[in-house]
């Protein structure tokens, strides 16, 4: 029996999950000391809530981690929601910037500080009551492979490492942080015949 094509896989998708660094961003991480930063400062609420969070003794927690996001990707998340597809992030790092962006885009699942992405994916599938075949994961590096292997549709961004591209069912035309998420969403919605209606509905809502 032949394996299903990437388009056939895309037609089943009800949930799209993204890595962050190198996928929703170009992979650059800007870290600035926050005003009044002091050694031994207490971790933020977001850091404390991250699974397995730990910080070296004497490390300053008062810092600002800045990232850049592409407007086209933000629109893609809205288009996916318009078409009835859920979205979310699973990332190893913990960043207030990412939390703010994800909440602003009304993403359904926001999980930071996660080393075991496949384990988190399994929890999400159980919570949403969907199968792995109905989920897509968009990644760029080897830590994403376990989750990508579980999903019905594994997507690699253009700048993904060779090992990741080798196991992906589809690769985006644009790099992470430069419209890769838009490519992924557009590919799935077009395969499902939902793209044009989602665009029209998005425009109508303004």
What contacts 177, CB < 8 A, 6 or more positions away? 22, 23, 24, 25, 26, 27, 28, 68, 69, 70, 73
Q: Summarize pLDDT for 91-100 with one digit per residue, the tens.
A: 999 998 999 9
Per cent of the chain over pLDDT 90 is 78
Backbone φ and ψ of 49, nearest 5°: -80, -10
Query: Could you tell me the domains of the chain?
Result: 6-28+68-205 (3.40.50.1000), 30-66 (no CATH)
Q: What whole-number distance in Å separates Cα of residue 176 and Cα of residue 159? A: 7
The band of 4, judged by pLDDT with boundaries at 50, 70 and 90, is confident
Say if CB 16 and CB 124 are below 8 A apart. Answer: no
Q: How much is the pLDDT for 46?
A: 54
Instruction: Give the end-to-end CA distance of the chain in Å, rounded to a whole number.
Output: 46
How would you class 90 by CB atoms within 10 Å of its CB: exposed for 0-12, middle for 13-18, buried for 19 or more? buried
What pLDDT score does 48 carry? 54
% of residues, the chain, pLDDT over 70:
86
Could you read off the pLDDT of 112-165 as tens digits, one per residue? 999 999 999 999 999 999 999 999 999 999 999 999 999 999 999 999 999 999
List the strands of the sheet with 135-139, edge to edge: 109-111, 86-90, 15-18, 135-139, 153-156, 170-171
Query: CB-based burial of residue 42 (10 Å sphere; 0-12 exposed, 13-18 middle, 19+ buried)?
Result: exposed
């Amino acid at each position: 029996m032949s394996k299903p094509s990437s388009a056939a896989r895309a037609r089943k998708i009800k949930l799209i999950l993204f890595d962050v660094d190198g996928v929703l961003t170009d992979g650059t991480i800007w870290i600035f000391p926050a005003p009044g930063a002091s050694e031994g400062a207490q971790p933020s609420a977001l850091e404390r809530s991250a699974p397995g969070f730990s910080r070296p003794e004497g490390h300053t927690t008062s810092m600002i981690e800045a990232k850049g996001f592409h407007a086209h990707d933000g629109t893609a998340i809205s288009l996916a929601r318009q078409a009835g597809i859920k979205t979310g992030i699973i990332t190893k790092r913990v960043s207030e910037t990412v939390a703010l962006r994800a909440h602003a885009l009304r993403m359904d699942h926001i999980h930071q500080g996660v080393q075991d992405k496949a384990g988190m994916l399994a929890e999400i599938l159980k919570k949403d009551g969907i199968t792995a075949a109905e989920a897509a994961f968009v990644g760029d590096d080897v830590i994403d492979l376990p989750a990508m292997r579980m999903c019905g549709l594994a997507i690699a961004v253009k700048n993904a490492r060779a090992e990741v591209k080798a196991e992906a069912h589809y690769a985006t035309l644009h790099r992470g942080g430069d419209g890769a998420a838009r490519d992924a969403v557009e590919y799935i919605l077009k395969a499902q015949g939902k793209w044009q209606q989602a665009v029209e509905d998005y425009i109508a809502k303004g």
